[in-house]
Each structure stands twice: as C-alpha cells, then as structure tokens.
Structure 1
Amino acid sequence: MQIALAPMEGLVDDILRDVLTQVGGIDWCVTEFIRVSERLMPAHYFYKYASELHQGAKTAAGVPLRLQLLGSDPVCLAENAAYACELGAPVLDLNFGCPAKTVNRSRGGAILLKEPELLHSIVNHVRRAVPAHTPVTAKMRLGYESPEGALDCARALADGGAGQIVVHARTKVDGYKPPAHWEWIARIQEVVKVPVVANGEIWTVDDWRRCREICGARDIMIGRGLVARPDLARQIAAAEAGEDVVEMTWTQLQPFLQDFWQQALNKMTPIQAPGRLKQWLALLTKSYPEATTLFNTLRRETDCERIGQLIGFVRSEAA
C-alpha cells in the first residue's frame, strides 16, 4: 500500500508538504497544479511551485515529489512537461479534477472530463514528449455533472499512456460535499489495466477501512484529511501493518506547527504568513479542540511577533 499527499491549490505548498512529510507515513506527494497555456514557462515558474526540484525532487524528509500540470493544449502541455523533466521532475501528473470555477471557465481541470478525446490527446502528447523512464500519471473526478462518462474518461487516460490514475470519487458539481462515491473507483479499476488510486473523504482510519472494503483500492491519496490530522497516514500505515494505532497529541504536534510558522516567516511577507497559519489551524480544528481555542485567539491577530508568542515559537538564529 502507498499513501499519497494530495495536491491542493493554495494550501498544500512546499512548506506544508515539508512539515506533513516530516510527520511520516506519506510515500509521495504532488505539487499544486502548475498552469500552462500558450507558451513554454520559464524555470523560475516551476521552482515557484516545486522548490523541491532544487533538492532532487524530494522533501526534506526524503519523500518524492510529483509535478502536476494543468491545461488543455496537448502540444503546450507536452513541451512544458519535457522541460519540467529537464529541471528534474521524476513523475509528471496531469490535472483533470480541479473543480474551481475560474479554472473550469478557462478550460482546465474537471471541465475537460466532458471531452474524453481531448484527455487521450493530452496524455498521449505528454507521454511521447517525456523520457520513456518518466512515469506519466493523471488525476480525475467522476465527471463534471454526473459519473456517466467516468469509465470512458478513465479508458481515455489509460489508453493515452497514463501509468496510474488517481480518482477523486465525486463529480465537479459534487465539489467536496460528502459522500464520496467509492464504488465508482472499483468500476473504473475493472475497465483499465493501470493502477487506480482512491481519493476523497478519508478523514480517519475507519474511513480508510470502509473505502478499501467498498472499492478494493490498495493505494490511497489523502488531502484535507491529512491536513486536518497530520499523522493520519502514519495511523493508516500502522493499521495496515497490524500494529497499534497511536494518535498524535496536540503537544506532539506543536513542534511541527512552530516549524511551519518559521518557514512561513522565512518565505512569505508579514502580511501573508499569518493567513497561511490560520488556514492550517482552521483545518486542524476538525481534529484538535486545542486548535479551536488557538484559532479563536489568533483570528484577528496580525502581528507576527505576537502570533509567535501565542504558539510558543522561538525564532532560530539561522532564520
């Protein structure tokens, strides 16, 4: 079994990827989508979303990173994919699942699930453009408005050359509303020969067990569940191995929260950093009552020094 950290635009950036992979249990992670259209993007554009390219495309904890591209032009995506490989991307992932209205209006993400032929063309162009040893993978939802075309889309991706397909078990219209329709993942696996990874609505070890029972998928990808419960991958890995599942306490989480804050201070402006911390805290409130208390205390706080004091942070001399 492999457990992946999902790409989440505006949330799971290089800082949060670094912190969450330090907690453990994550086998690989994916960048936020890198949008490409009309031209070959410069190197600094790729490094902006994937700073890990400077360190062998791995997080500090040694967890491999995949580079995700989003767009609708097969030729342009292929050219950018080839360049990303030159910069060190070990795996190219293609986004056909983003539900954001602004992305869909610009003909990106889940809107492309209405055009299986285009899905095939995009994957095929990228597959032929990158080195043979570089895997090309894809992420999809069940469809735009309904899952009726999900099987055709999955076939198009696999036939185009995708070596693995991550399936977020909801349509674009479903957004992130529960439930996730895991039964469709099993149906998709029946019609393609490549591995299918289950994604969607896995918040606990029990959710993972139900997902596996329903869809039979061996590998999983977790997004919000891992952000809200940073040791969830570790818990699931322990359960899979038949070991005792021990949950991380709020006290044990503190060093990771403080590390996140220091990295945010180092990489962001004093205006941006507080917002990113509060964004993570808001999701942590789903798992930790202490996070709710801290979030309410910090809700209107904008002074970075005061925020650091409230989370017990001591800025290192190196910073």
Structure 2
Amino acid sequence: MEGLVDDLMRDVITRVGGVDWCVTEFVRVTRHLLPASAFQRLAPELQQGGRTAAGTPMHVQLLGSDPACLADNAAFACTLGAPVIDLNFGCPAKTVNRSRGGAVLLQEPELLHRIVCAVRAAVPPAIAVTAKMRLGYEHTDLALDCARALAGGGAAQLVVHARTKVDGYRPPAHWEWIARISDAVSVPVYANGEIWSVDDWRRCREVSGVAPMMLGRGLIARPDLARQIRAAQAGLDYGPMAWHALLPEVLLFWHRVRARLPAKYAPGRLKQWLCWLARSYPQAAVLFAEVRAETCAERIDQRLLGASLERSSVELLRDKALAA
C-alpha cells in the first residue's frame, strides 16, 4: 500500500486501536546496500524502538529479487531496530513487477525459496522473517508451491492476499485458497483481501478456516475495524466509531501532512484518505466533494476548521438539550 500507509497513517490507525502489529510501505531493494536514511524515511518508528507512538510493533517490509542484496539490507535494517523483517511478494503494481519485484516473483518458487533462505540466514535468530504473497501472477497453479517455498525457506508466517496479480483488487477474494495454503504449510497463515466489515471477517474466517487476519484497505476506510473485530471475538457489543469521534483524527492527520509536505502536494494526501473514508462515512463523502477540486491548502484549512466548528456546535446543542 505504497503512498497510503505511511507513518502518519500508521500513527492514526494504531492509536484508534485493535491492531497487533503494522507493516511499513515496502522498502525497494535493488543492487545496493541502502543508507540508514532510506529506512528511516519510510520507517521513522525505527528511531523509537520499532514501534508507533501508540506502542504498536512495526515490521519493516522489503521488496526485491536479489537474495544476497535483500539479505544484506535485511541485516542492516535489524541493526537500525527492525523488530521483524517482512518480504513483499504480493505487490501487483506494473512498475514494481517490471523491475522484478512483488507478485511477478510468484512465477519462480525456487527464487522465493532462495530469497527467504538468504534473508533468514542473515537476520539474527531472535528476529522473525515473514512474507506476504498473492495466489499467483496470472493463475493459481503455483500457489501451493510458492507457499511451501516461503515456509520451507524459513518464513515464520505467511500473509496470503486471496487474489492473483491479474485479479488486482477486483472482488471477490478467493478465501477458499487460503484454507488450501494453510493445510499445505506448517506456519501460521493470515488471511487478507476484501475484509471491509465484521461480517466480512466472519465469512472469511468461516471460508478460510484461519483466525488471524491482515487488514489493508478496509482499515483505511474504517479506522476502527480492528477494534470492531476485537469486540466481536470477545462477544462484546461495540458501537462503531462515529464521524464526530473520527473527525479530530482527520484534522490532526491534515495538520501533520501540512507540516511535512509542500502546500501544493498536501491536498492530494488528504483527499486520498477522505476518498477511502467515504466508503464508511457519508460525512467524509460530503467533505471530499467540497475539497475535491481545491488545490489551495489554506482554503482547505478553512473548510476543515468549519467542519470542526460545526461539530462543536452540534455537541453544544446536544448537551443543552440533555441538560434541559
């Protein structure tokens, strides 16, 4: 989820709660040992013990195809504080696949095995190496071979996105394949793909037969989805996070984006998240429509300030009504 789940988004999501661990955007590894700044740019949490501000562990994800180079960079990331090394064999982006990264490697199970073996050998024994995969590139013929190659190479767990590269993100996710993969390997398997709600989580668990899940786009669209699932697991009633409770997080996110990015680029980052939030919150859809064509960060400041004041006014009226 390059360009979406950066440290600012990880901070929001993990503060909302319910998340066991999170993963960086992928660190692209080609032919060289990357400098510390390359890791710290994508994973600034390395400078705070490899955890988000909420204390959630953050795994460093690498993407590449050269076993020796990936191994060297993984070992270096560990010296910088990476608590877990994750290997990306799931990215479907054309530019990534053309450079022999991500899902294209699912056509070469032997290479997957060599990569994981090399990284596992280079990383301290106490630090886990994990992997994410799809069901294949063009088809699922090699899905089980790829899973066995990763697990056999030393991956401590697999996250399986239940679609091929060619499938992209088109529904449905083929959760039944996760059950087959889980039966084929001896390491824990996490289900991933098309989990947008607690009902989706229940169906995925029933079809896949696995309990652990990795949430991606569903968690961006519904930041408290992990909390909802936690409550469902415990048999507790939980009222989903209301827009007025989420709005302060949106405002804080925008403030931090404004502080980091040039004014010409900041609006796009906010619009990107609002577009996802609109799947779950009608209020986000309204706000997105209002700022969609806006390129001036200062005018967006004013609109968000107005949204905040509107929220405060509504709460004040509600409190007065309750008091009466």
TM range (shorter): over 0.9
Q: Which amino acid aligns with 2:181?
A: I
TM-score by length of 1: 0.95
Please name the residue that 2:150 is paired with.
157
What SS does the aligned partner of 1:275 have? helix
Q: Deviations over 1:143-193 (max 9, x none)?
A: 001111100000000000000000000000000000000000010010100
Stretches of structure 2 that go unaligned for 5 or more consecutive residues are: 309-324
CA shift, 1:312, in A, is 2.3
Distance in 2 between residues matched to 1:190 and 1:179, nearest whole Å: 21
Superposition pairs for residues 128-143 of structure 1, below 5 Å?
128-143=121-136
> Are 1:75 and 2:68 an aligned pair?
yes
Q: Deviations over 1:23-54 (max 9, x none)?
A: 11111000011001111000000011101111
Q: Which of 23, 28, 38 is the aligned partner of 1:30?
A: 23
Please name the residue that 1:228 is paired with.
221
What SS does the aligned partner of 2:160 have? strand
Higher relative contact order (CA 8 A, sep 6+): 1
Structure 1 stretches of 4+ moved >6 Å: none
Distance in 1 between residues matched to 2:184 and 2:91, nearest whole Å: 23
> Are 1:119 and 2:112 an aligned pair?
yes
Distance in 2 between residues matched to 1:39 and 1:101, nearest whole Å: 22
Stretches of structure 1 that go unaligned for 5 or more consecutive residues are: 1-7, 315-319
> Are 1:199 and 2:192 an aligned pair?
yes
TM-score by length of 2: 0.93
CA shift, 1:105, in A, is 0.6
CA shift, 1:245, in A, is 2.5
Q: Which amino acid aligns with 1:261?
A: W
Query: What's the RMSD between the two structures over aligned residues?
Result: 0.9
Distance in 2 between residues matched to 1:268 and 1:21, nearest whole Å: 22
Superposition pairs for residues 234-253 of structure 1, below 5 Å?
234-253=227-246
Distance in 2 between residues matched to 1:273 and 1:47, nearest whole Å: 21
What SS does the aligned partner of 2:88 have? strand
Please name the residue that 1:170 is paired with.
163
Distance in 2 between residues matched to 1:149 and 1:311, nearest whole Å: 49
What SS does the aligned partner of 1:279 have? helix
- Structure whose alpha-carbon radius of gyration is higher: 2
* Count of residues in correspondence between the two structures: 307
Question: Which has more helix, going by share of residues?
Answer: 2
Please name the residue that 2:95 is paired with.
102
Q: Deviations over 1:70-117 (max 9, x none)?
A: 000000000000000000001000000000001001100000000000
Distance in 2 between residues matched to 1:153 and 1:32, nearest whole Å: 22
Distance in 2 between residues matched to 1:170 and 1:98, nearest whole Å: 11
Distance in 2 between residues matched to 1:238 and 1:94, nearest whole Å: 30
Please name the residue that 1:219 is paired with.
212
